[in-house]
Structure 1
Amino acid sequence: MNSDLVYRQIQPDHSLVDFVDCFWMLETQTDQARDVVVLPDGRIDLVLAQAQSEPFHVLLMGLGTVPTPARMAPRTRMVAISFKPLAIEYILRHPVAALVDTVQTLPTDFWGFSGSDLADFELFVKKASSRIQENLEEQVDDRKRKLFNLIYETQGSMPVNELAENVYWSSRQINRYFNQQYGVSLKTYCRVLRFRATFTQIKEGKLFPEQAFADQAHFIKEIRKYAGTIPKELFRNKNGRFIQFSALSSD
Structure 2
Amino acid sequence: MEYKVIKPDPSLTDFVDSFWMLKSEDNQNKEIIVLPDGRVDIIFEWSEQNPLHVMLMTLDQAASAATLPARTIMFAVSMKIPALEYILDIKQTMNSHPKLLPNDFMGITSDDLKDFDSFVDRISRSMLTTAQSKNIDSRKKKLFEMIYETDGAMTVGLLAERSCWSARQINRYFNDWTGISLKKYSNILKFRASFAQLREGKLFPRGEFFDQPHFIKLIKKLSGVTPKELSKNKNDRFIQFSASTDK
TM (norm. structure 2) is 0.96
Give the alignment partner of residue 234 of structure 2, picking from 225, 238, 244: 238
Give the alignment partner of residue 133 of structure 1, picking from 84, 108, 128: 128
Cα distance per residue 1:5-54 (max 9 Å; x no partner): 10001111111111110110001111010011111111110110012222
C-alpha displacement of 1:248: 3.0
Question: Which whole-Å CA distance do the structure 2 matches of 1:99 and 1:27 have between them?
Answer: 30
1:134 partner letter: T
Distance change (3 Å), C-alpha of 1:188 and 1:249:
closer
Please name the residue that 1:26 is paired with.
22
Kept after mapping to 2: 8 A contact 1:53/1:74: no
Gaps of 5+ in 2: none
Distance change (3 Å), C-alpha of 1:141 and 1:50:
same
- 1:91-106 alignment, distance < 5 Å: 91-97=87-93, 100=96, 102-106=97-101
Question: Which whole-Å CA distance do the structure 1 matches of 2:242 and 2:49 have between them?
Answer: 24
Please name the residue that 1:200 is paired with.
196
- Which of structure 1's runs of 4+ aligned residues deviate more than 4 A? none
Give the alignment partner of residue 140 of structure 2, picking from 144, 152, 157: 144
Question: Which whole-Å CA distance do the structure 2 matches of 1:225 and 1:152 have between them?
Answer: 21
Please report the RMSD computed on the Cα atoms of aligned residues, expressed in angstroms: 1.5
Question: Which whole-Å CA distance do the structure 2 matches of 1:97 and 1:213 have between them?
Answer: 27
C-alpha displacement of 1:96: 2.4
* Mapped pair 1:221 → 2:221: no
TM (norm. structure 1) is 0.94
Kept after mapping to 1: 8 A contact 2:152/2:187: yes
Please name the residue that 2:110 is paired with.
115
* Mapped pair 1:188 → 2:170: no
Percent identity between the two aligned chains: 48
C-alpha displacement of 1:94: 2.1
Please name the residue that 1:62 is paired with.
58
Gaps of 5+ in 1: none
Distance change (3 Å), C-alpha of 1:171 and 1:208:
same
Question: Which whole-Å CA distance do the structure 2 matches of 1:164 and 1:41 have between them?
Answer: 23
